[in-house]
Amino acid sequence: MPGPGSNIESALTPVVAPTNPSQQSFITKKEIGDLDFTVEFNDSVLSLAGWNNPRYNGSKLQASNLNTFTNGDITYGKSSVVQKYTKNVYIGTAITNLKNPEEDNLVQFPSASYVNISKVFTIGRDLETDDFLFGNDESSAKIGFYRSFFDDFPNGKNISLIPLDNTIPNLLKDTYNVYFNGGKLSKAITVANNGESAISVSQTLFQYAGTSPSDSTNLSDNNLTATLHTEVTDKYFISSSVTTHGQLDDFFEQTLTHINSNPGKNRFFITLGHRSGFEFAPINREFTNRKAFKTFEIQKSSDFSRIISLSSKFKPDSQDDDFADSNKLAYIVSQLDDSVPSLLVELDLENQLPSGIGELPVIIIPHNLHPFLKDNLIYILSTAGVDIGRTQVPQTINVKNQTLT
């Protein structure tokens, strides 16, 4: 029989905390900063609009494009969901006319010109300038510049050109679409086609000649003619001419070797054409795949005879496959020169700027330039000491877009 003090002893015995972790977390006192991964949550509220809307459904925004409203966007009114603008303004001192016979070393895309860029202004509290001519430099400065450059001038987006010399005839359009933003393409070889059907392109594979002819078979036996362009090929190619299938194989082998030696610097592209000789393909005006005139980048060899792999970044799409299936393909292989940042645009220089850009530079405005800077560009550049010629300078700043909604 328990003694008189046993009830007192049992009352003084400490209560042992439950060993169940889900109970433990509510009973054990937590120190500040401790972590507890077992919490209680009333999941019945997940089906309540009053709880869900302010936390997720009612506050979720959705957009198809930056800086603009597109039908179907989930936003407030018709305002853009995400705004991303640049503060960079570019200056060009030359436009290369591809109709000029003196520029016949370049791939002469029809009715097109290269806008050559020599300086960039970054407009902030202070105006920063950067002059550049990279040459063969592969420095981090060049890589960093082109990263920003590609953001400002993506293929398929519009740019505006403003010649600062207002004494010249000016028939420029309001905007020009960027066909290619990587630099200038110099011709290495042109393969004309007078009836060969074996040349083809499909997805990321390009067949540059039929697989059955032997190395000694003349290209002319298969209605092909190859022309080397020595300004490129004299630098690293052995052959002085390409008349046989074996020599054409050697050309592509040497090209791939050159690419593999420095993939970032040595870049080559293929431009498709058709009909007897070489005629450029129709322009793809949708610009959905970063292409200019069906131009694709060579990447590496493949496991198949006389077939090379194309870069997934610059590759054909189904429209290009259809074009290849319905035409006897010719092609130009070209080497990229990015020592001077250049934009390929459909600018017919002879008709739209018959006297050139004049004695002053041309301003190149990216598609995503901040609206406030665009509204006050002449004022800002003139204040910074840029020679704007006889262009009239506004007396005051337009503050309409200084703070965007």
Are 94 and 225 within one domain? Answer: no
* Residue 238 covered by a domain: yes
* Residue 401 covered by a domain: no
Are 292 and 208 within one domain? Answer: yes
Phi, psi of 119 (to 5 degrees): -155, 150
Q: Which of 337, 371, 392 delimits the end of a domain?
A: 337
Are 144 and 205 within one domain? Answer: no
Q: Which of 309, 337, 365 delimits the end of a domain?
A: 337
Q: For residue 400, give the 3-state DSSP assignment.
A: coil
Are 189 and 177 within one domain? Answer: no
* Residue 390 covered by a domain: no
Q: Measured between alpha carbons, how far is 6 from 359 in angstroms, rounded to an integer?
A: 110
* Residue 250 covered by a domain: yes
Are 174 and 201 within one domain? Answer: no
Of residues 355, 307, 325, the one with CA closest to residue 165? 355
What residues have CB less than 8 Å from 270, skipping those under 6 apart?
A: 206, 295, 296, 297, 298, 310, 331, 332, 333, 334
Our count of domains for the chain comes to: 3
* Residue 191 covered by a domain: yes
> For residue 398, what are the β-bridge partners?
none
* Residue 59 covered by a domain: no
* Residue 2 covered by a domain: no
Q: Which residue has the tokens 């070393």?
A: 105
Q: In sequence order, what DSSP letters do the residues of 185-206 get, joined into one string? A: EEEEEEEEESS----EEETTEE
| Radius of gyration of the chain, Cα coordinates, nearest whole angstrom | 32
pLDDT of residue 18: 52
pLDDT of residue 16: 52
Q: Can you read off the two tokens belonging to residue 142? A: 């060049």
Amino acid 12 reads: L
Q: For residue 151, give the 3-state DSSP assignment.
A: helix
Residues of the chain scoring pLDDT < 50: 1, 4, 6-12, 15, 22, 25, 287-290
Are 233 and 377 within one domain? Answer: no
- Which DSSP helix (H) or strand (E) runs through 247? helix 245-261
Are 217 and 166 within one domain? Answer: no
Are 265 and 329 within one domain? Answer: yes
Are 139 and 188 within one domain? Answer: no
Are 253 and 331 within one domain? Answer: yes
CA dihedral 113→114→117→122, nearest 10 degrees, is 80
Q: Measured between alpha carbons, how far is 126 from 148 in angstroms, rounded to an integer?
A: 19
Are 177 and 189 within one domain? Answer: no
Per residue in 319-344, pLDDT (tens digit) is: 777 788 788 899 999 999 998 999 99
Q: Measured between alpha carbons, how far is 403 from 399 in angstroms, rounded to an integer?
A: 8
**Domain span at 96:** 88-182+345-383
Contact 283, 310 (CB under 8 A): no
Q: Measured between alpha carbons, how far is 305 from 311 in angstroms, rounded to an integer?
A: 18
Q: For residue 231, give the 3-state DSSP assignment.
A: helix
Burial 189-210 (b: 16+ CB within 10 A, else e): bbbbbeebebbebeebebbbbb
- Which DSSP helix (H) or strand (E) runs through 120? strand 113-123
pLDDT of residue 135: 53
* Residue 58 covered by a domain: no
Are 200 and 302 within one domain? Answer: yes
